[in-house]
A = this chain, B = another copy of it.
Amino acid sequence: MNKKLDELKNRLREVEDLNNASAVLGWDQATYMPPGGAPARGRQMALLSRLAHERFIDPATGRLLDDLQAHAESLGPDDDDAGLIRKARRDYEKSIRVPPQLLAELSEHGALSYQAWTEARAANDYATMRPMLEKTLDYSRRLADCFPGYDHIADPLIDFADEGMKAVSVRALFAELRAQLVPLLRQILEQPPADDSCLYRTYPEDQQRAFGEMVIKQMGYDFNRGRQDKTHHPFMTSFSLGDVRITTRFQPDYLGDGLFSTIHEAGHAMYEQGIDMSYEATPLAHGTSAGVHESQSRLWENVVGRSRVFWNYYYAQLQSVFPDQLGDVELDTFYRAINKVQPSLIRTDADQMTYDLHVMIRFDLELALLEGTLALDDLPEAWRARYQSDLGIASEDDRDGVLQDVHWFAGVIGGAFQGYTMGNIMSALFYRQALTAHPEIPAQIGRGEFGTLHGWLRENIYRPGAKYTANELVERVTGGPLTIEPYLAYLRGKFLD
């Protein structure tokens, strides 16, 4: 068995390393590549992805997994090798079910659709995207149909990002959340709005950067095993457990973007840096789901980084970095500014309180599209109606409406949005659990100390990597199923404060 297991690990290591190499090429493309490098780079990344895929779906992988199945079961659910075999088998079963031809068509259509969208969005032109979306919807259904036996057609698509989650349960959870959030938002908006003008002053990039990097270093992001660079859109990427990088961007006349982007991506990165080093170059060496990943970015960005205790400690330091900009601004004013609640049209600009309403609109609409209960002709209007009912505002044009997010226009409808709100829900759930174990955590944050929180997260969330699914992890950590109660309590406590 050890020989077979080594064979499997060698094979998986090559798959991981090919994907990791492709990730390096992608990072370079987004950070430093000169314009002339673009045509070859796309080709090179496609080659590496194809080779990784071919090696993974090779029947030899399947035979090794078959041979190791009984061995894995004999080891018990908590054994690392058993977890590896289990995870590899699930990935393998999924990968071999999708015909290469469909994958290739999807990828080609996705590229065309994305290209068309970049122009159509600027031109506020839903009509052009309408037939593209029709095709995307068709491909998405065909992709789902590679996994017969689903309860809901969105289930296989959700499963790609948030393994084990199903449309029916997510929908129920979100309906419950929405039913509470909409009236809570109304209640919050009855209060006088915060003055966030202090954030819109001139904040030189170098100081923004230095302050942000100082903060994430103290939080626990390890610069010996990572680095931060600038990109148009911030992201985290990993080339091995020893090299987990983040990118950010800075607005010279707005403080609220760069700093919180940096913390957000560092949250993702600390998750991957914290994975058990013995999982290096295996399918376990990743975050376990989009939702759990987002729980860590949002926990550090919002639950910690926008908390009062955090700024009790850091605000004086921020003032000393920006004395001209913030010297005359009270801590309380600054705290309210970075937590200002204001319904807006754009998801990515949304505050912590309204963000999930944006997400759930998309989730519900894509389910309706997949089910066929909503027609693409009616989508823009359905979008506006939900914005009006949930957020009290709606975009007249489609540019800031249905055309705003890339997700539906890059190849698949379904499965890409639920993780954002799952992440918020889990961020509060995990944080509460950490506080139950270590009630001293808020006081420590108030002294700029994150070791206890980071240590608890590392042991309980990070270290297992992808060994347990999100649901299994929640069950293990909290002793129960996923629940929105801690998140709602957190939001109420913070915004009705």
Contacts and interface: CB of A to CB of B under 8 A. Distances in A.
Could you tell me the dominant secondary structure of chain A's interface residues?
helix
Contacts of A38: 242
A48 B38 CA distance: 20
Contact of A242 (B40, B47, B241): B40
Interface size class of A (residues with CB under 8 A): 35 or more
A224 B27 CA distance: 18
A34 B227 contact: yes
Contacts of A41: 239-240, 243
Interface of A: 13-14, 17-18, 20-22, 24-25, 27-28, 32-41, 43-44, 47-48, 51, 222-227, 229, 239-243, 245, 280-281
15 contacts: A20-B40, A21-B44, A24-B25, A33-B243, A34-B223, A34-B227, A34-B242, A34-B245, A35-B224, A35-B225, A36-B226, A40-B240, A40-B242, A41-B240, A51-B51
Contacts of A32: 32, 227, 229
Given A21-B48, A25-B24, A41-B243, A222 B14 contact: no
A414 to B, nearest CB: 32
A18 B36 CA distance: 19
A41 B280 CA distance: 12
**How many protomers of this protein does the assembly include?**
2
Contacts of A14: 47
B226 A17 contact: no
Given A37-B225, A242-B39, A243-B40, A24 B28 contact: yes
Given A14-B47, A44-B21, A51-B51, A39 B240 contact: yes
Nearest to A40: B240
Contacts of A35: 224-225
A73 to B, nearest CB: 31
A226 to B, nearest CB: 6
A197 to B, nearest CB: 36
Given A38-B242, A40-B239, A41-B239, 4 more contacts: A14-B47, A21-B25, A35-B224, A37-B242
A224 B21 contact: no
Contacts of A229: 32
Contacts of A240: 36-37, 39-41, 44
A20 B44 contact: yes
A222 B34 CA distance: 10
Contact of A21 (B21, B27, B34, B227): B21
B40 A280 contact: yes
Contacts of A25: 21, 24
Contacts of A241: 40
A41 B48 CA distance: 15
A40 B281 contact: yes
A43 B17 contact: yes
B223 A47 contact: no
A286 to B, nearest CB: 14
Q: Sorted from nearest, which 4 A-B pairs have the closest CB atoms?
A: A40-B240, A37-B243, A36-B225, A36-B242
Contacts of A24: 24-25, 28, 44
Contacts of A33: 243
Contact of A17 (B20, B40, B239, B242): B40
Contacts of A39: 240, 242
A243 B28 CA distance: 12
A3 to B, nearest CB: 21
Nearest to A31: B32
A47 B227 contact: no
A225 B225 CA distance: 30
A224 B222 CA distance: 33
Nearest to A55: B51
Nearest to A33: B243
A245 B240 CA distance: 25
A210 B45 CA distance: 33
B225 A34 contact: yes
Nearest to A229: B32
Given A17-B47, A20-B44, A51-B51, A36 B222 contact: yes
